[in-house]
């Protein structure tokens, strides 16, 4: 007897990545008529750790012999446990974030039958919304109880939700019944797909890692192409420039970001006048970017000498409240990479909060390349210009500091600092490919071994050919 249990797991964190951060995890677990809601949390944590904790707690709550169908809106969890973990183990967990929880999750999965699925977060699916609600209850419980808290009732799964393995239909020989894979789904299989399962299927996108809810007035977000650029359905301000991706890449999103402002002090009323960010996945720029000029509703003052953006230029630009939903949807869930990141994040947090959204730092991880450079090059100048010279990055005209230009430069610096390839000479690459094509194929002589079918395999083949002819009334290709 094997029981099938469905789990929706989610994490939440208020003040993600900060010392005062408080996180929560939640798991909504159903099996037949059984329903369980478990949640908990801890302080000084991150959203990713809570996503992992939700999966661990949910799995350990279930009987070990049950089949588990797990839905998570975190690609960090789904891809980590199904793909990346194998490489991490081979490298003995070197340079892996949250190795303690990954080891716990790996141990919890051992000996279990688990089907992992990704679901679009905060898209209205009841199971995912319940898991998110439970995760936030975990935050509240932690704030009430102290550093760490759990609410986990006793599990009493009923026998009625089990299925008899002996009654399962035998596996179908798809080649015998559908030799070219062209037959339509039969009525019996079609009946197995209900509306709820269709709603739960991912929409060919894996990108949103750890997305959290924000202001209720945001538009629906869908992928323009698989895994990368997203376009907000509905009305977008005409002065928001979103460039679609030219590469279809899989993996967590990193956004190299820069802002320009009216001054240095967000506490004193300075505002953002420009935002630029470019997308990177697996250390490759996808071609996707977002660029916006913003009317700060105050004079730019002396900052014009830095970025060259004048009051006259900005007077017909949108207010931050006009573009906040589009910008938030583009940025949320990604790892933000910025030079002197606290400056940019303080301004962005302030602007999003004023517009009625969560602080961006609550829904994104942040990497500060200035802090990285100071650790790597102590006692040296670590401005963006200094790093460009140190790493021999191609020079660009930086008479004025533009947000998108600085983001592009920072992308090259980040890749150089972290030991990867900085850029590709596409013209040279194309020329090299053409030259190779013009040389024609090279002749390679290899003695390949010949493996003959055994008598038993030949007999099975003959049996299969006869079955095909009896069923379809005509010989198959193999017998012609």
224-277: per-residue pLDDT in tens? 333 334 444 445 788 899 999 998 888 899 999 999 999 999 888 999 999 999
Distance CA 132, CA 27 (A): 8
Taking the CA atoms of residue 463, residue 469, residue 472 and residue 477 in that order, the dihedral angle to the nearest 10 degrees is 100
The CA distance from 361 to 343, in Å, is: 12
| High-pLDDT (> 90) share of the chain, % | 49
Whole-angstrom Cα distance, residue 21 to residue 457? 63
Q: Give the pLDDT of residue 187.
A: 36
The CATH architecture to which 2-200 belongs is 2-Layer Sandwich (3.30)
User: What are 120's two structure tokens?
Assistant: 């679009």
Residue 95, annotated ligand binder? no
> Could you read off the pLDDT of 171-204 as tens digits, one per residue?
445 455 544 444 433 333 333 333 333 333 333 3
What is the spatial distance between Cα 92 and Cα 86, in angstroms, rounded to a whole number? 10
Q: Is 335 annotated as a binding residue?
A: no
Question: Domain 221-423 adopts which CATH fold?
Answer: Nucleotidyltransferase; domain 5 (3.30.420)
What is the mean pLDDT of the segment spanning 60-73?
Answer: 93
**Of 120 and 72, more confident:** 72
Q: For 88-130, how does the pLDDT look when each residue is reduced to its tens digit (9 = 90+)?
A: 988 888 889 999 999 999 999 999 999 999 888 887 788 899 9
How confident is the model over 382-399, as pLDDT tens digits?
A: 999 899 999 888 776 555
Per-residue pLDDT at 34: 84
Is residue 260 marked as binding? yes
pTM given for the model: 0.44
478 band by pLDDT with thresholds 50, 70 and 90: confident
- Looking at residue 208, what is its pLDDT? 37
CATH 3.30.420.10 boundaries in the chain: 2-200, 221-423
Residue 258 is assigned to a ligand binding site: yes
Which one of 24-28, 380-384, 440-444 scores highest in mean pLDDT? 24-28
Residues recognised as catalytic: 401
pLDDT of residue 422: 44
Check residue 419 and give its pLDDT.
Answer: 80
Residue 429, token pair as written in the block: 């690459």
Residue 402: pLDDT band by 50, 70, 90 thresholds?
A: confident
Whole-number mean pLDDT of the chain? Answer: 80
């Amino acid at each position: 007897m094997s029981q099938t249990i469905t789990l929706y797991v989610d994490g939440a964190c208020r003040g993600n990545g900060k010392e005062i951060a408080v996180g929560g995890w939640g798991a909504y677990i159903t099996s037949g008529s059984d329903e369980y809601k478990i949640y908990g949390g801890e302080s000084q944590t991150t959203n990713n750790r809570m996503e992992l904790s939700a999966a661990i707690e949910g799995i350990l709550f279930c009987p070990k012999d049950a089949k588990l169908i797990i839905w998570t809106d975190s690609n960090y969890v789904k891809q980590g446990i199904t793909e990346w973990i194998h490489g991490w183990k081979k490298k003995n967990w070197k340079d892996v974030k949250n190795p303690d929880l990954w080891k716990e999750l790996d141990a919890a999965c051992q000996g279990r039958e688990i089907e992992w699925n990704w679901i679009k977060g905060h898209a209205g699916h009841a199971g995912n919304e319940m898991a998110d609600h439970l995760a936030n209850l975990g935050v509240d419980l932690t704030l009430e109880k102290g550093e760490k808290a759990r609410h986990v009732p006793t599990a009493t799964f009923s026998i009625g939700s089990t299925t008899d393995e002996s009654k399962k239909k035998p596996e179908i020989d798809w080649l015998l019944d559908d030799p070219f894979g062209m037959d339509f789904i039969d009525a019996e299989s079609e009946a197995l797909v209900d509306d709820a399962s269709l709603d739960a299927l991912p929409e060919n996108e894996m990108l949103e890692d750890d997305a959290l809810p924000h202001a209720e007035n945001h538009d629906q977000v869908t992928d323009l192409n698989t895994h990368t650029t997203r376009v907000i359905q509905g009305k977008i301000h005409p002065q928001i420039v979103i460039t679609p991706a030219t590469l279809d890449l899989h993996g967590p999103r990193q956004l190299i970001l820069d802002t320009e402002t009216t001054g240095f002090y967000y506490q004193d009323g300075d505002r953002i006048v420009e935002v630029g960010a470019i997308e990177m996945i697996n250390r490759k720029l996808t071609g996707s970017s977002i660029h916006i000029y913003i009317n700060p509703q105050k004079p730019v003052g002396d900052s014009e000498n830095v970025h060259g953006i004048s009051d006259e230029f900005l007077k017909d630009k949108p207010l931050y409240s006009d573009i906040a939903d589009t910008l938030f949807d583009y940025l949320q869930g990604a790892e933000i990479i910025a030079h002197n990141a606290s400056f940019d994040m303080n301004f962005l947090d302030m602007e999003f909060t004023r517009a009625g959204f969560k602080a961006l730092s609550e829904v994104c991880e942040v990497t500060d390349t200035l802090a990285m450079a100071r650790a790597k090059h102590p006692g040296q100048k670590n401005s963006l210009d200094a790093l460009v010279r140190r790493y021999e990055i191609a020079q660009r005209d930086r008479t004025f500091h533009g947000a998108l230009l600085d983001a592009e430069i920072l992308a090259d610096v980040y890749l150089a600092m972290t030991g990867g390839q900085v850029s590709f000479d596409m013209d040279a690459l194309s020329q090299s490919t053409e030259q190779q094509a013009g040389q024609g194929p090279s002749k390679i002589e290899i003695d390949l071994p010949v493996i003959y079918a055994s008598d038993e395999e030949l007999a099975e083949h003959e049996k299969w050919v006869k079955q095909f002819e009896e069923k379809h009334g005509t010989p198959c290709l193999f017998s012609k």
